[in-house]
Structure 1
Amino acid sequence: MEKEQLRKSVLRRLGTIKGHIAGIEKMVEENKNCEDILFQLSAVMGSVNKLSAHILEGYSQACLDESNFDDAKSRQRIEELTKTMLNMLKK
């Protein structure tokens, strides 16, 4: 993903997260039940983790593209490490 596409995607996701936060704030102001608020907070945390993974994926790919690896095995190991970190963030 090119840098400008990544930036737009990140901003779009941040806007969505901001909307969810505003909704939670309204729920608190309206004295909604804690279970519903906690459920929404969980959704926001999941969105933030997915955003982190999205940014990490773009950043790591850009780093790999800019690096000159003479050793294909080293590049493959770094790609595997990145995939592992992404899988951890997406859970």
Structure 2
Amino acid sequence: MTKEQLKKSVLQRLGTIKGHVAGIEKMVEENKNCEDILFQLSAITGAVNKLSAHILEQYAEACLEDVHIDDTNARQRIENLTKTMITMLKK
């Protein structure tokens, strides 16, 4: 993914998060029940975690491209560690 593609993707995801926040503000102003507000907050948390995972994934790929690791076992372990961290963030 190019830097421009990453930028566009991140901005789109941030726009979605902004929309969720605006929706929650409206819900609070309209005195909606706490359960519904908490559900929407959970959606925001998930969206932020997925955005973090997306950025981490792209950053890790760029870092691995910049370094020359001759040991294929070491490189595989780094890639596995990165995939594990990304999976954990997405939950």
Q: Specify if TM > 0.5.
A: yes
Distance in 2 of aligned mates of 1:75 and 1:31: 53
Aligned AA (1:80): N
Aligned to 2:3: 3
**2:71 equivalent to 1:68:** no
Show the counterpart of 2:27.
27
Task: Give the whole-Å Cα distance in 2 for the aligned partners of 1:76 and 1:5.
Answer: 26
Quote the Cα distance in structure 2 between the aligned partners of 1:54 and 1:17: 14
**Equivalent residue runs for 1:6-85 within 5 Å:** 6-85=6-85
2:90 corresponds to: 90
Cα RMSD for the two superposed structures: 0.6
Aligned pair count? 91
Post-superposition offset of 1:72: 1.2
Mapped to 2, the partners of 1:2 and 1:61 lie a distance apart of 11
Identity of aligned residues (%): 77
Distance 1:32 1:48 in 2: 23
Residue type matched to 1:31 in 2?
N
TM-score by length of 1: 0.97
Q: Which amino acid aligns with 2:60?
A: S
Q: Secondary structure at the match of 1:69?
A: coil
In the superposition, the TM-score normalised over structure 2's length comes to: 0.97
**Aligned partners of 2:77, 2:2: CA distance in 1, in Å?**
23
Q: What SS does the aligned partner of 1:46 have?
A: helix
Deviations 1:25-58 (A, max 9, x none): 0100111111100000000000000000000000
Flag structure 2 segments of 5+ consecutive residues without an equivalent: none
4+ long deviations beyond 4 Å: none
